[in-house]
């Protein structure tokens, strides 16, 4: 195997000689090309960004070492700046001029929805790891998109249920004012109500945000026991910091409805101890997760988020499907992705459904107290394993036109 750098916008390119395989794979343009489209410098750069680029490279390198394919693989990357128009334009450029086969990560719902539409028009695949809204595999699903890591249905199944069970009955939401935030607030409200709680109201903040004072004061005035943060990344971090500054906590509790280990690391255990969160991955869950995560840490000097680990898993599964299909043609590869189970450090017996949702177990975690943390990044108690069939929208309730009922 040899590696070559293609340019400043390119994260990596991997090329290798044909290996021993049973049958030659017919790959268009001589290579399978992956485009990592992510937030490289903004609100979501810590939880996705350069880390998803590195995770993609690791997946390619591991696939080559283990599967010994007879086709070349290249990886390029770009910053979508969390903007749908930039994402759609970059997708068209990559598909039309750089012969990209699949675009991966797509943190931020607006960018994912924009790119998956373009990709479907071009008969190319979207592997969504970073975005969370349920329309991706529900109302706006298509037959060349896979939603891998989590969604706004799965998050409250763990967090909201746990908080209501602990006595947090009355909720008020601070919500990022775009598709992801709206979806997360809606799905969480449904779980809160079904669990016996009550929603007192909500307020929406611009995305991305910096000053959350007026929104926090509205939440404080509501008298709600729980302030649900229907945002993510730097928005969640700033919301938590400012809530403490204003004395809102601990009088009212905060529920981070989408929190990442990078957020906990940034805030520290003193600020986050006791908080519940739902995640699709924890680096310290078992020997397999620890082994991969320590390799990732050697490269990035930080432990991976669920988005970064999920991105690796989706890319590896995609490449296995290309090899199994004997082609990089999107529909044939998608058929293999649905046919083959996902068994790796990220998921056991995972399954890509007809709607494109990759179903796998999720985890309810509680952040440790500082006194409970025994080593760096030792941040979570895993309180519950949420089985995949319970974590994601049942197909019987799906609005995806690909689902036959």
User: What pLDDT shows up at residue 7?
Assistant: 32
**Measured between alpha carbons, how far is 331 from 15 in angstroms, rounded to an integer?**
25
User: What pLDDT shows up at residue 256?
Assistant: 94
Same-domain status, 248 and 330: no
Write down how long the chain is: 405
Same-domain status, 52 and 165: no
Q: Domain range holding 189?
A: 154-282+363-385
Same-domain status, 10 and 102: yes
Segment 326-339, tens digit of pLDDT:
999 999 999 999 99
Segment 349-392, tens digit of pLDDT:
999 999 999 999 999 999 999 999 999 999 999 999 999 999 99
Q: State percent of the chain over pLDDT 90.
A: 91
C-alpha triplet 385, 265, 292: angle, nearest 5°: 60
DSSP 130: S
Residue 403 within a domain: no
Extract the tokens encoding 261.
């280990």
Q: Give the CATH number, domain containing residue 376.
A: 3.40.50.2300
Same-domain status, 241 and 350: no
Same-domain status, 18 and 114: yes
Same-domain status, 207 and 355: no
Same-domain status, 277 and 163: yes
Residue 390 within a domain: no
Same-domain status, 371 and 272: yes
User: What pLDDT shows up at residue 234?
Assistant: 93
Residue 296 within a domain: yes
User: What pLDDT shows up at residue 26?
Assistant: 87
Q: If you average pLDDT over residues 175-179, what whole number do you get?
A: 94
Same-domain status, 201 and 339: no
Among 28-32, 136-140, 225-229, 312-316, which stretch is predicted with the lowest mean pLDDT?
28-32
- Residue 2 pLDDT greater than 50, yes or no: no
**Measured between alpha carbons, how far is 176 from 204 in angstroms, rounded to an integer?**
6
- Please tell me the total count of domains within the chain: 2
User: What pLDDT shows up at residue 23?
Assistant: 52
Torsional class of 165: left (φ above 0), alpha (ψ -120 to 50), beta (otherwise)? alpha
- Residue 305 pLDDT greater than 90, yes or no: yes
Do 365 and 382 meet the contact criterion of CB atoms below 8 Å apart? Answer: yes
Residue 51 within a domain: yes
Same-domain status, 345 and 275: no
Among 11-15, 169-173, 242-246, 293-297, which stretch is predicted with the lowest mean pLDDT?
11-15
Residue 19 within a domain: yes
User: What pLDDT shows up at residue 19?
Assistant: 46
Do 403 and 316 meet the contact criterion of CB atoms below 8 Å apart? Answer: no
Q: If you average pLDDT over residues 203-216, what whole number do you get?
A: 94
Residue 398 within a domain: no
Segment 5-25, tens digit of pLDDT:
333 333 444 443 344 444 567
Same-domain status, 255 and 291: no
Bigger pLDDT: 255 vs 404: 255
Q: How far is CA 136 from CA 8, 229, 401, in A?
A: 31, 21, 12
Same-domain status, 253 and 372: yes
Residue 205 within a domain: yes
Residue 397 within a domain: no
Do 124 and 101 meet the contact criterion of CB atoms below 8 Å apart? Answer: yes
Bigger pLDDT: 209 vs 137: 137
Segment 62-116, tens digit of pLDDT:
999 999 999 999 999 999 999 999 999 999 999 999 999 999 999 999 999 999 9
* Mean of per-residue pLDDT scores for the chain: 93
Return the number of other C-beta atoms located less than 10 Å from residue 377's C-beta. Answer: 16
């Amino acid at each position: 195997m040899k590696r070559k750098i293609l340019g400043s916008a390119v994260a990596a390119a991997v090329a290798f000689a044909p290996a021993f395989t049973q049958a030659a794979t017919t790959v268009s343009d001589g290579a399978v090309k992956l485009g990592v489209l992510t937030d490289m410098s903004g609100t979501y750069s810590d939880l996705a960004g350069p880390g998803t680029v590195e995770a993609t490279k690791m997946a390619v390198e591991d696939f080559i070492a283990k599967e010994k394919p007879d086709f070349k693989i290249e990886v390029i990357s770009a910053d979508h700046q969390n903007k749908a128009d930039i994402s759609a334009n970059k997708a068209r450029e990559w598909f039309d001029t750089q012969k990209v086969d699949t675009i991966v990560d797509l943190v931020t719902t607006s960018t994912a929805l924009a790119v998956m539409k373009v990709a479907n028009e071009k008969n190319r695949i979207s592997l969504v790891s970073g975005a969370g809204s349920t329309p991706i595999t529900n109302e706006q699903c298509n037959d060349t998109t896979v939603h891998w890591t989590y969604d706004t249905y799965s998050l409250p199944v763990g967090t909201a249920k746990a908080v209501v069970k602990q006595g947090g009955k009355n909720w008020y939401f601070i919500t990022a004012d775009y598709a992801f935030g709206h979806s997360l607030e809606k799905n969480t409200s449904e779980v809160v109500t079904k669990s016996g709680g009550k929603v007192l109201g909500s307020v929406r903040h611009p995305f991305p945000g910096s000053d959350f004072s007026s929104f926090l004061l509205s939440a404080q005035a509501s008298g709600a026991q729980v302030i649900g943060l229907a945002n993510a990344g730097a928005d969640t971090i700033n919301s938590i910091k400012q809530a403490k500054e204003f004395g809102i906590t601990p009088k009212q509790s905060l529920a981070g409805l989408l929190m990442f280990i990078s957020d906990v690391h940034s805030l520290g255990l003193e600020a986050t101890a006791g908080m519940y969160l739902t995640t699709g991955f924890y680096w310290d869950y078992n020997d397999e997760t620890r082994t991969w995560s320590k390799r990732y840490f050697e490269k990035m000097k930080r432990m991976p988020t669920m988005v970064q680990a999920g991105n690796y898993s989706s890319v590896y599964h995609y490449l296995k499907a290309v090899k199994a299909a004997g082609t990089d043609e999107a529909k044939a590869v998608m058929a293999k992705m649905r046919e083959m189970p996902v068994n790796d450090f990220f998921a056991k017996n995972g399954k890509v459904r007809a709607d494109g949702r990759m179903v796998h177990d999720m985890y309810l975690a509680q952040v440790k107290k500082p006194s409970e943390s025994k080593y760096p990044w030792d941040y979570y108690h895993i309180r519950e394993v949420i089985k995949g069939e319970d974590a994601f929208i049942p197909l019987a309730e799906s609005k995806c036109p690909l689902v036959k009922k």
